[in-house]
Structure 1
Amino acid sequence: MRKLNYLIIPFAIAIIYACSTKSASTKPKTGLWRAVLASKGGELPFGLDISLNADSSTYTVFALNGEERLQMDSSFVKDDSLHIPMGIFEAEIIAKITSDSTLSGYWKKRRKGTEYTRLDLQAFYGDKTRFKVASTAPSSEDVSGKWATTFLSDDLKDTTKAVGIFTQKGKDVTGTFLTTTGDYRFLQGNIDGDSLKLSCFDGSHLFLFKSKFTKDKMTGEFFSGATGHENWTAVKDEKAELEDVNRLTFLKPGFDKLSFSFPDLTGKKISLEDPKFKNKVVIVQILGSWCPNCMDETTFLSPWYKKNKDKGFEIIGLAYEKSADLKESSPKIAKMKKRFDIDYDVVLAGTNDKAEASKTLPMLNRIVGFPTTIIIDKKGKVREIHTGFSGPGTGKYYDKWVEDFERLTEKLVKE
């Protein structure tokens, strides 16, 4: 028995040591991490900033893309993995803490029912680079400026016109693509010889742009999510512009007002005929809790409403979700309202299929994109319909939208 004890005691000590070592490694380092998703087009990098909260059990995590710091939901360690939820998008990162400087796991996002999109993920502590650059020589090209861009679907049936706007500093590039239905948010990347790579991760959308370029032309590929793919070409053109986004959606002949009745989160029907909207300037925000461009607009509208509602303004959000079932969609809308501290009404208007969404507002020619913003005067007449939203990642285009919005609303409230 004595010899057996000699064998058991070292073995027990080894187990205790192994467990304590594992325990010590189940807390991620705080600070900056370089995360990489294994997308269809190759590595899709983005930044993470992880900090431990005062309760010592939860973490605050930001996704980093250029100047954007996008906060994820409260994160936590379970067993040996860091969980970074993005409830508003029904998405989550789960990454095993494989060492004090590496994470290994995956990002997943619910599609419908129990179906999920999933991509493998790795993250490396203290690495601030975006894309790994092979060439050490300074770039002889500068992609800064505006680019007239055309995206072409793989089946060659659909084309989308866009305007690329980029700023280059050394080998680092930031910018976005503007379209009539919104922008591609904050893109960040690098020049490597005659190649340009840009990426963005916002919890819901995953974008990877790769191209070869010359002085005034680019030819590339665009990868989105797990399977999305398009080809694109761009020509440098400082005069490149999109068609007027205030003319894409409009009232059909014979109509000058908007009319609807949709349920709020409690099931109560809300209509523009309700007393709270009478003699007010009303902003109707067509949105979805799944839509990052809509979130950019909400980030502006929510505090704007708090500041201006007593001046004679109201906002109502018409949410078009994956499901028209209030029981299924109301929790998602509620999460959105909580996250963006929304004080105005948000109702469930239908599903996010554009053709089906258009049927819910038959006085409009069509709903082209999310978001769409409709501004109504005190008499109930529609004065402007703006498709899409140019978010903060678009710089001067965002500033102009804010300026035009505030100028029009101030004019209408004085009428």
Structure 2
Amino acid sequence: MRILYFFLASVILLSCSDKPVVLQTGIWRGVLDQQGQKLPFTFEVENLDGKYLIYIRNAGEKLTLDEVKIDGDSVKMVLHIFDAELHAKVEGNSLHGFYLKNYDRSFRMPFNASFGDDYRFEKTSDMATTDFAGKYAVKFIDSKNDTSVSVGVFNQKGNHVEGTFLTTTGDYRYLEGSVVNDTLFLSTFDGNHSFLFIATKNENNTLTGDYWSGKASHETWTAVKDDNAVMPDAEGLTFLKEGFEKIDFSFPDLNKNIITPEKYKGKVLILQIFGTWCPNCMDETKFLSQWYNDNKERGVEILGLAYERKDDFTYASERVLKMKNKLNVPYEFVIAGTNDKVKASETLPMLNKVLAFPTTIFIGKDGKVKHIRTGFEGPGTGVYYDQFKQRFNEVINQLLSEKQVSKK
């Protein structure tokens, strides 16, 4: 009898342990342990008829994760279009696990989350004593003492701060954080970027801070408040080498059909140099998709030139197809190479170099390159995004108004 009781109790315990856990719906506060620093972000969990949806929140953005799998006592979240995941054990109102990048087996960053905490850095009702709002001329200094310039734009309401940095290769997207005492804290996590910024204001109205990205990158930064701060002209950084007027290539599409610029003869063509691993490219792809749906009847085509993490057609095409389906992208793509900028430059030898992902090339009806724009000012940049859209349409309207001189 005692043996039978023990057997039944074991069966009951085993059955209980095999039952999938329930992920609490509502607000969670996630934290990545990045280089010994705590990088916080918030996310929402929703259960729609038994299917979990998760929304990562950064300032004005909500990034949807629709591939969420519960397996026993654990949860796996595929991070949108990126080849990365969050894996965690569910323990009531807590998650404990790791942030992983599938293309890099060495990448493993501790991740924890707590349910019901709707704040980012510190929960405080104290009024901020320091105002960080405004536009700044920024200088970043990396571990090799190399410098790069940027423009920082911050909006502050009470303790809450949102903003971004504009650089020559793109913006740092949606940064969100707070002022705690006299220190500015900003962070973002979008599935690929994990950025943390900390800064203090000096007596001369300048800022001094630190910037951590990923597993190893750390830079210091200084900033001077400057309403007239500007970035270098995005249309002058990437250009054709002397003696070239056109872009020439021969790349396979997702079905291995070879595509050349000849296919688009007589039309205005936009070439998008991008990668599915790149959040700024994701922002541009969303813009181009909507724009193409609204304007494709005007004689304009878009072709995405994908530069992926691996020199493997199957891997690259699967990543692009996933992005295409998830973002409902209506235009075509080819697999052009890898995201190594030196090797990417070799695939388009008529360019001075591939400086940034994304880079956008505008080709006229005559097949000649008319404009090249390096980087992208996305929706997280506010007024700069509006200016980009205005300039984009000006360029396209100009190219559409040109007559096709030659069909050679």
Q: Which runs of 5+ in 2 are unaligned?
A: 403-408
Partner residue in 2 for 1:36: 31
Letter paired with 1:212: T
Match of 2:96 among 90, 101, 104: 104
- Mean CA deviation greater in 304-313 or 294-303: 304-313
Partner residue in 1 for 2:322: 335
Does the residue aligned with 1:212 lie in a helix, a strand or coil?
strand
Deviation for aligned residue 1:136: 5.1
Deviation for aligned residue 1:111: 4.1
Deviation for aligned residue 1:19: 4.8
Partner residue in 2 for 1:242: 231
Deviation for aligned residue 1:32: 1.2
Following the alignment from structure 2 to structure 1, what is the Cα–Cα distance between the partners of residues 174 and 393?
A: 24
Match of 1:16 among 12, 22, 40: 12
Q: After TM superposition, which residue ranges in structure 1, 4 or more long, deviate above 3 angstroms?
A: 8-15, 17-24
Is 2:383 the counterpart of 1:404?
Answer: no
Deviation for aligned residue 1:328: 2.7
Task: Flag the 1:102–1:263 CA change in 2: closer, same or farther, 3 A.
Answer: same
Task: Flag the 1:86–1:138 CA change in 2: closer, same or farther, 3 A.
Answer: closer
Letter paired with 1:181: T
Deviation for aligned residue 1:38: 0.9
Match of 1:53 among 19, 42, 48: 48
Is 2:200 the counterpart of 1:207?
Answer: no
Deviation for aligned residue 1:15: 6.2
Following the alignment from structure 2 to structure 1, what is the Cα–Cα distance between the partners of residues 335 and 193?
A: 23
CA contact (8 A) 1:82 1:97 kept: yes
Partner residue in 2 for 1:126: 116
Does the residue aligned with 2:248 lie in a helix, a strand or coil?
coil
CA contact (8 A) 1:371 1:389 kept: yes
Does the residue aligned with 1:230 lie in a helix, a strand or coil?
strand
Match of 2:353 among 359, 366, 370: 366
Following the alignment from structure 2 to structure 1, what is the Cα–Cα distance between the partners of residues 18 and 197?
A: 39
Match of 1:68 among 49, 61, 70: 61
Does the residue aligned with 1:384 lie in a helix, a strand or coil?
strand
Following the alignment from structure 1 to structure 2, what is the Cα–Cα distance between the partners of residues 211 and 336?
A: 35
Partner residue in 2 for 1:161: 149
Following the alignment from structure 2 to structure 1, what is the Cα–Cα distance between the partners of residues 91 and 351?
A: 54
Letter paired with 1:354: K
Does the residue aligned with 2:102 lie in a helix, a strand or coil?
strand
Could you report, residue by residue, the CA deviation over 1:130-160 in whole angstroms, capped at 9, with x for unpaired residues?
A: 1015x7542222111111111111121x211
TM-score by length of 1: 0.92
Letter paired with 1:179: T
CA contact (8 A) 1:41 1:223 kept: no
- Mean CA deviation greater in 251-260 or 8-17: 8-17
Does the residue aligned with 1:89 lie in a helix, a strand or coil?
coil
Following the alignment from structure 2 to structure 1, what is the Cα–Cα distance between the partners of residues 266 and 290?
A: 22
Describe how 1:286-325 pairs up with structure 2 within 5 A: 286-325=273-312
Following the alignment from structure 1 to structure 2, what is the Cα–Cα distance between the partners of residues 210 and 151?
A: 13
Letter paired with 1:185: R
Match of 1:79 among 72, 78, 88: 72
Match of 1:180 among 168, 171, 175: 168
CA contact (8 A) 1:82 1:94 kept: yes
Following the alignment from structure 2 to structure 1, what is the Cα–Cα distance between the partners of residues 386 and 96?
A: 39
Following the alignment from structure 1 to structure 2, what is the Cα–Cα distance between the partners of residues 351 and 267?
A: 16
Is 2:226 the counterpart of 1:251?
Answer: no
CA contact (8 A) 1:41 1:208 kept: no
CA contact (8 A) 1:326 1:348 kept: yes
Following the alignment from structure 2 to structure 1, what is the Cα–Cα distance between the partners of residues 16 and 285?
A: 46
Letter paired with 1:16: I
Following the alignment from structure 1 to structure 2, what is the Cα–Cα distance between the partners of residues 324 and 343?
A: 25
Deviation for aligned residue 1:407: 2.1
Deviation for aligned residue 1:125: 1.1
Partner residue in 1 for 2:405: none
Task: Flag the 1:199–1:10 CA change in 2: closer, same or farther, 3 A.
Answer: same
Partner residue in 1 for 2:177: 189
Task: Flag the 1:283–1:16 CA change in 2: closer, same or farther, 3 A.
Answer: same
Following the alignment from structure 1 to structure 2, what is the Cα–Cα distance between the partners of residues 146 and 227?
A: 28
Deviation for aligned residue 1:388: 0.3
Deviation for aligned residue 1:366: 1.1
Deviation for aligned residue 1:50: 1.0
Does the residue aligned with 1:249 lie in a helix, a strand or coil?
coil
Deviation for aligned residue 1:22: 7.5
Between the two proteins, what is the percent identity of the paired residues? 45
Could you report, residue by residue, the CA deviation over 1:238-272 in whole angstroms, capped at 9, with x for unpaired residues?
A: 11111111000011122221111111112111011
Aligned CA-pair RMSD: 1.9
CA contact (8 A) 1:47 1:128 kept: yes
